[in-house]
């Protein structure tokens, strides 16, 4: 049976909806060029490995040992790029901002002290990523939260952690507006953070 190819997900908002915090040109290039190219290259790699076409992305990224060496790097980079960006778009909203909500708010208070302490830690870790990567809020199997970073398009799933919130600190995510000032991008990003979506991810994890 022919399995459907991976496709670029539609955003839940327009390219200019996150202005002024993320400008429309950055959103357009980021989604329609960068993310689209990861999807295209992932599909290209999977054409060479038909047995893997039906595997979910999170399976591929956690079973790279079972991926043929000839496509392993392509699947790691482009599969990770597709999965990470798909999560990232869902964790932002023009109606975002404010403080954490629901059980996630309680867990942040428990594990970081309060939301401001969490935000400081997330910004500090994101600012320290050398080169291209991502900064994450993750939960372990017991629900304990941590801030971690990954290089390239690696995802914390690869280390057995569940991603709850993520920000993209590749230069393509902020350079048109902020140039070298990544800390400004990180501190401004809280205005578009979708805490309800993050709490949904946390609550869903607690149930599974």
Question: Closest CB to Mn ion among 145 and 169?
Answer: 169
Instruction: Write out the binding residues for Mn ion, residues 122-141 only, by CB under 5 A.
Output: none
Region of 63-71, 92-100, 118-126, 168-176 interacting with Mn ion (CB under 5 A):
168-176
The residue nearest Mn ion at its CB is 168
Say whether residue 189 binds Mn ion (CB under 5 A).
Answer: no
Give buried/exposed letters for 99-138 (b at 16+ CB in 10 A, else e).
Answer: ebeeebbebbeebbeebeebbebbbebbeebeeebbbbbb
5: tokens are 């190819």
Q: Which of 163, 156, 152, 159 is nearest to 129 (CA)?
A: 152
Question: Is residue 15 within the footprint of Mn ion (CB under 5 A)?
Answer: no
State in angstroms the smallest separation of the CB of 15 from Mn ion: 14
Paired tokens of 106:
């309680």
Q: Are 147 and 136 in contact (CB under 8 A)?
A: yes
From candidates 168, 192, 193, 197, binder to Mn ion by CB under 5 A: 168
- Reading the block at residue 114, the tokens are 């309060």
Contact window for Mn ion (CB under 5 A) among 115-123, 156-164, 167-175, 181-189: 167-175
Q: Which is nearer to Mn ion, 155 or 199 (CB)?
A: 155
- Does residue 38 contact residue 81 with C-beta atoms inside 8 Å? yes
Question: Does 38 interact with Mn ion (rule: CB under 5 A)?
Answer: no
Structural contact between residues 100 and 115, judged by C-beta atoms closer than 8 angstroms: yes
Sign of the Cα torsion 156, 164, 99, 11 reads: positive
Length of the chain: 208
Select 40 or 115, whichever has its Cβ closest to Mn ion: 40
Range in contact with Mn ion (rule: CB under 5 A) among 11-19, 60-68, 141-149, 172-180: 172-180
Binding region for Mn ion (CB under 5 A) out of 37-45, 146-154, 169-177, 196-204: 169-177
Contact between 194 and Mn ion by CB under 5 A: the answer reads no
**Binds Mn ion (CB under 5 A): choice among 122, 136, 170, 189:** 170
- List residues binding Mn ion (CB under 5 A): 168, 170, 173
């Amino acid at each position: 049976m022919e399995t459907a190819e991976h496709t670029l997900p539609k955003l839940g908002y327009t390219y200019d909806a996150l202005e002024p915090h993320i400008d429309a040109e950055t959103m357009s290039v980021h989604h329609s060029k960068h993310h689209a190219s990861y999807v295209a290259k992932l599909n290209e790699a999977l054409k060479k490995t038909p047995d893997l076409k039906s595997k979910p992305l999170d399976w591929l990224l956690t079973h790279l040992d079972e991926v043929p060496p000839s496509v392993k790097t392509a699947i790691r980079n482009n599969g990770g790029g597709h999965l990470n960006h798909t999560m990232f778009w869902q964790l932002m909203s023009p109606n975002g901002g404010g403080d954490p909500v629901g059980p996630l708010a309680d867990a942040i208070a428990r594990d970081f002290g309060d939301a401001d302490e969490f935000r400081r830690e997330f910004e500090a870790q994101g600012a320290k990523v050398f080169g291209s990567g991502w900064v994450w809020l993750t939960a372990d199997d017991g629900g304990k939260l941590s801030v971690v970073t990954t290089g390239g398009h690696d995802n914390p799933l690869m280390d057995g952690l569940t991603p709850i919130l993520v920000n993209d600190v590749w230069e393509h995510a902020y350079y048109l507006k902020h140039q070298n000032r990544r800390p400004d991008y990180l501190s401004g990003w809280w205005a578009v953070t979708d805490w309800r979506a993050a709490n949904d991810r946390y609550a869903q994890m607690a149930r599974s």
